[in-house]
């Protein structure tokens, strides 16, 4: 197949949409498909262009056999509703214009989380007279409404109408959770047009590993030798309730061997830094955004990984991709999330410890439990690795999505 894929994010950006898009496209190329990705100049989440790139009208490169076309981008930090929305809208327009420089594909894919890129995909598919497949990685506008970023009822109703129209316009829809499939089916979309392709792991990158020279060097550089490391790795965003982590760290400030690591960046970083400074906490280290290839080394020296979500209904429907990566590396994991799809899976498989979200006392108790009961934590981590290796290998899932794309193309003919 000739696949044209529109994605707001792509490596060297390191968030979940960029990783999933890259790893799927890389697998499709290896299997003989021709893949072109239209994306923006890399700048997420700080709104600073990555070294080696300039914000030009168009620039092209090849990454792992994938043709990558980068458009001019309205560069802004991942914070502030109006600026972010303008960033989304302008990328959608630029992506449509960039598509005019591409050959006619067999299928056009657009991947969320924000659905302005979906609108661009629908337009490109119409221009190319080819079937459109929408990949839904987040529920818009539900997520921004529940996070309090959007309150005007008329805007919400307008966005919901666009959401429904986008679902109807797609020849096929790929979702990353079963709850998303239920949500879309409730909008009147036939189940046979919806494919469940969850996130997964690259086993060459994430696998059990003993700390070696690289890991010991990280410990030495950051003065972490002999510490019990509790790591939150990922976007420091509004969805994660990271003040809860600060609250828990404050409760444990007298446990001198326990250190919390925050690896990542995002819209909530400034507030977290201010809270740490105000409380005078020295048991939290903000390490900023790290290259994706470095993350397995941090995981190898981490005693407990954290997956945190706010106590909002929309987050009962999500499955953070980091869950699979942490477990694939056989690291003990603590999940603080509403009762929903991912919490049910973790509890059913005994892959980690679960607590109520936004509860700093429960978080502090769980950290102490893992420190004091390492054998039980290790047993859960082993169970988690076996579960992930059984169900969530990225190449296998990419091929499942490719099969759905081919089925959609055949049906359109």
Burial group, residue 129, by CB count within 10 angstroms (0-12, 13-18, 19+): exposed
Dump pLDDT digits (tens) for 41-55.
999 888 889 999 999
What's the rounded Cα separation, in Å, for the pair 378 and 381? 5
* pLDDT score of 231: 98
What's the rounded Cα separation, in Å, for the pair 138 and 237? 14
Q: Hey, what's the torsion of the CAs at 144, 7, 321, 258, to 10 degrees?
A: -80
Dump pLDDT digits (tens) for 388-412.
999 999 999 999 999 999 999 999 8
* pLDDT score of 250: 98
**At 63, which helix (H) or strand (E)?**
strand 58-63
In 3D, which of 12, 17, 62 has the Cα closest to residue 37? 62
pLDDT > 90 fraction of the chain, expressed in percent and rounded = 79
The whole-number average pLDDT for the span 374-395 is 95
Residue 203, pLDDT > 80, answer: yes
CA end-to-end span of the chain: 14
The whole-number average pLDDT for the span 167-192 is 93
What is the pTM assigned to this prediction?
A: 0.89
Dump pLDDT digits (tens) for 4-41.
999 999 999 988 899 999 999 999 999 999 999 999 99
Name the pLDDT band for 156 (thresholds 50, 70, 90).
low
Residue 81, pLDDT > 90, answer: no
Q: Which residues contact 119 (CB under 8 A, 6 or more apart)?
A: 92, 162, 166
Name the pLDDT band for 143 (thresholds 50, 70, 90).
low
CA atoms within 13 Å, Cβ hemisphere of 304:
30
3-state secondary structure (DSSP) of residue 270: helix
In sequence order, what DSSP letters do the residues of 96-121 get, joined into one string? HHHHTTS---SEEEEE-SSTHHHHHH
* pLDDT score of 148: 64
Q: What count of residues does the chain have?
A: 413
Name the pLDDT band for 79 (thresholds 50, 70, 90).
low
Dump pLDDT digits (tens) for 309-334.
999 888 888 899 999 999 999 999 99
205 φ, ψ (degrees, to nearest 5) = -100, -40
Angle at 257 between CA 253 and CA 263, to 5 degrees: 80
Residue 152, pLDDT > 80, answer: no
- Going along the chain from its start, the domains and CATH numbers come out as 2-200+393-412 (3.40.50.2000), 213-391 (3.40.50.2000)
In this structure, what DSSP letter does residue 291 have? -
* pLDDT score of 160: 73
* pLDDT score of 327: 95
């Amino acid at each position: 197949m000739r696949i044209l894929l529109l994605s707001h994010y792509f490596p060297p950006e390191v968030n979940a949409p960029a990783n999933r898009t890259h790893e799927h496209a890389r697998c499709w190329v290896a299997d003989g498909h021709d893949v072109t990705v239209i994306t923006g100049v890399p700048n997420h989440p700080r709104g600073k262009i990555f070294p080696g790139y300039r914000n030009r009208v168009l620039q092209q490169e090849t990454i792992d056999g994938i043709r990558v076309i980068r458009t001019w981008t309205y560069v802004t930090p991942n914070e502030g509703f109006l600026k972010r929305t303008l960033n989304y809208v302008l990328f959608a327009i630029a992506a449509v214009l960039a598509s005019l420089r591409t050959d006619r594909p067999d299928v056009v894919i657009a991947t969320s989380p924000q659905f302005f890129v979906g609108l661009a995909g629908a337009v490109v598919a119409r221009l190319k007279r080819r079937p459109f497949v929408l990949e839904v990685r987040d529920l818009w506008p539900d997520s921004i409404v529940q996070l309090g970023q959007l309150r005007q009822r008329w805007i919400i109703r307008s966005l919901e109408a666009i959401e429904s129209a986008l679902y109807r316009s797609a020849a096929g829809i790929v979702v990353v959770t079963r709850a998303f499939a239920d949500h879309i089916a409730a909008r009147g979309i036939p189940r046979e047009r919806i494919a469940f392709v969850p996130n997964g792991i690259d086993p060459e990158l994430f696998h059990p590993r003993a700390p070696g020279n690289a890991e010991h060097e990280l410990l030495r550089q950051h003065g972490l030798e002999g510490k019990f490391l509790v790591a939150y790795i990922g976007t420091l965003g509004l969805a994660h309730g990271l003040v809860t982590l600060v609250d828990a760290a404050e409760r444990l400030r007298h446990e001198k061997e326990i250190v919390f690591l925050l690896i990542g960046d995002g819209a909530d970083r400034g507030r977290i830094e201010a809270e740490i400074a105000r409380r005078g906490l020295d048991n939290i280290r903000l390490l900023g955004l790290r290259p994706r290839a470095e993350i397995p080394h941090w995981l190898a020296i981490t005693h407990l990984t954290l997956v945190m979500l706010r106590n909002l209904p929309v987050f009962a429907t999500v499955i953070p991709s980091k869950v699979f990566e942490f477990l694939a590396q056989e690291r003990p994991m603590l999940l603080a999330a509403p009762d929903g799809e991912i919490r049910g899976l973790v509890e059913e498989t005994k892959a980690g410890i679960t607590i109520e979200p936004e509860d700093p006392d429960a978080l502090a108790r769980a950290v102490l439990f893992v420190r004091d009961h390492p054998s039980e934590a290790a047993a859960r981590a082993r169970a988690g690795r076996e579960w992930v290796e059984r169900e969530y290998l990225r190449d296998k899932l990419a091929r499942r999505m490719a099969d759905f794309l081919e089925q959609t193309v055949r049906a359109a003919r």
